[in-house]
Amino acid sequence: MQVYLVGGAVRDHLLGHPYHEKDYVVVGATPEQLLAQGYQPVGKDFPVFLHPKTKEEYALARTERKSGHGYHGFEFFTDPNVSLEEDLIRRDLTINAMAMDDSGQVYDPYHGQKDLEKKLLRHVSDAFAEDPLRVLRVARFAARYHQYGFTIADETLALMQKLAESGELQALTPERVWKETSRALMEDRADVYFDVLRQCHALKILFPEIDALFGVPQRPEYHPEIDCGIHTLMSLQQACKANYSLDVRFAVLVHDLGKALTPKDELPRHIMHEERGIAPVTEVCDRLKVPTQTKQLALAVCKEHLKCHQAFTLKAGTVWRLLQRLDVLRRPERVEAFVQACECDARGRLGLEDREYPQAQYLLDVMQTVRNIKASDLPPEITGPDIGEMLIQKRIEAIADFKQKYTQPEQIT
């Protein structure tokens, strides 16, 4: 029995990129042998075991054969006679098809180290085109390793286009699409993920609402980049740069979906795009089974982001109702996330990436002001339903007083 470290850990070790998870492949062993050593079996499709102490994954060397559609359309074969090379050839990219033994020797039958040097994401074999999930995985790797200068090999991009056009992407489950996308959103250059999906024609299949933004013009005085799709990716890049949460990044990604629905005779203006965006944002979230908390913030940002930009000119009562809709008293963290997403929208514009956005601190300060007003601060003679009405009045008055401290900056739309 021989044990090798495989996949991402070997790749990132050679690249000098931080990694945490380790996966191992076991050659020349049976399930019974691993069970006898205390390994715990997991997984339904093929024999994977957890180490009795480290709980790291150990998989028996295996081959696979396409037997159906989608990510699960494979039959797996394990046997002590399956070689390391046979196991590695089924992997997606050459840089993921390397192994390392416990002495540090690297086994690289498909030239992954050369592609690391060339900074290329290249498929191992034509079997790549049998698994539609690999389109998303390669796009995610392109986002992760963009900082090192990695690009996708032309022949691999061609296979990704072939997969997109084959109809196989439709066989992916919503859970798998969201899992890969949510992981990609947390990369430093999440915008690259969506750019790659667009290059290989997968964006219009998996995210047609986002794809529809490209080519839609905006007013150049507010959006020097003009194109709505470019603005979306620039805004997402701002969220990544600030290391904001997944919820914020996703909200930024979908905040302008309504602009794809603007009637052509109204372009490049986008009146009512916030309201028009509610339906497509809801559709994306429901289709991909996006977590409820993530969906709620996305809808709030879609519907309310212009009010954040215009915060200084809003009446005190309007600001209070905005904060109330954001659940300011129970969930101040949602207000903070909302402001962060709006800030990314304001800065996701050509030449304006470093602009000041004082609305952010203004709304956060207002939030704290209204949260500091408690029922215990009211006169004792105020009782019953009058308490709620008086609290609202006091909070609006506090916002009005606070507003006097600020000047009104240039409007952002």
Q: Which two tokens stand for residue 182?
A: 């949510």
Is residue 21 a part of any domain in this protein?
yes
76: amino acid identity, one letter:
F
Is residue 48 a part of any domain in this protein?
yes
pLDDT value of position 404: 84
Is residue 238 a part of any domain in this protein?
no
- The continuous run of DSSP H or E covering 149 comes out as none
Q: Which residues lie below 8 Å from residue 73, measured CB to CB, with a gap of 6+?
A: 66, 67, 130, 171
pLDDT value of position 386: 76
pLDDT value of position 76: 67
pLDDT value of position 258: 98
pLDDT value of position 14: 96
pLDDT value of position 84: 95
Is residue 209 a part of any domain in this protein?
no
Backbone angles phi, psi at 127, to 5 degrees: -65, -15
Is residue 164 a part of any domain in this protein?
no
pLDDT value of position 46: 64
pLDDT value of position 360: 95
Is residue 45 a part of any domain in this protein?
yes
pLDDT value of position 63: 82
Name the β-bridge partners of 78. 62
CB 276 within 8 A of CB 263: no
Q: Which two tokens stand for residue 76?
A: 């797996």
Is residue 30 a part of any domain in this protein?
yes
The CATH code of the domain that includes 46 is 3.30.460.10
Domain that holds residue 80: 1-118
pLDDT value of position 204: 97
Mind listing the pLDDT tens digit of every residue in the chain (413 residues)? Answer: 899 999 899 999 999 998 888 999 999 998 889 889 999 888 666 678 999 999 999 999 888 765 455 445 456 677 888 999 999 998 999 999 999 999 999 999 999 999 999 999 999 998 898 889 999 999 999 999 999 999 999 999 999 999 999 999 999 999 999 999 999 999 999 999 999 999 999 999 999 999 999 999 999 999 999 999 999 999 999 999 999 999 999 999 999 999 999 999 999 999 999 999 999 999 999 999 999 999 999 999 999 999 999 999 999 999 999 999 999 999 999 999 999 999 999 999 999 999 999 999 999 999 999 999 887 677 766 777 777 788 899 999 999 999 987 765 555 55
Structural domain count of the chain: 1
Radius of gyration of the chain (CA): 26
Is residue 52 a part of any domain in this protein?
yes
3-state SS, residue 1: coil
Name the β-bridge partners of 2. 27
What secondary structure does DSSP assign to 156-198, as a single string? Answer: HHHHHHHHHHHTGGGGS-HHHHHHHHHHHHTSTTHHHHHHHHH
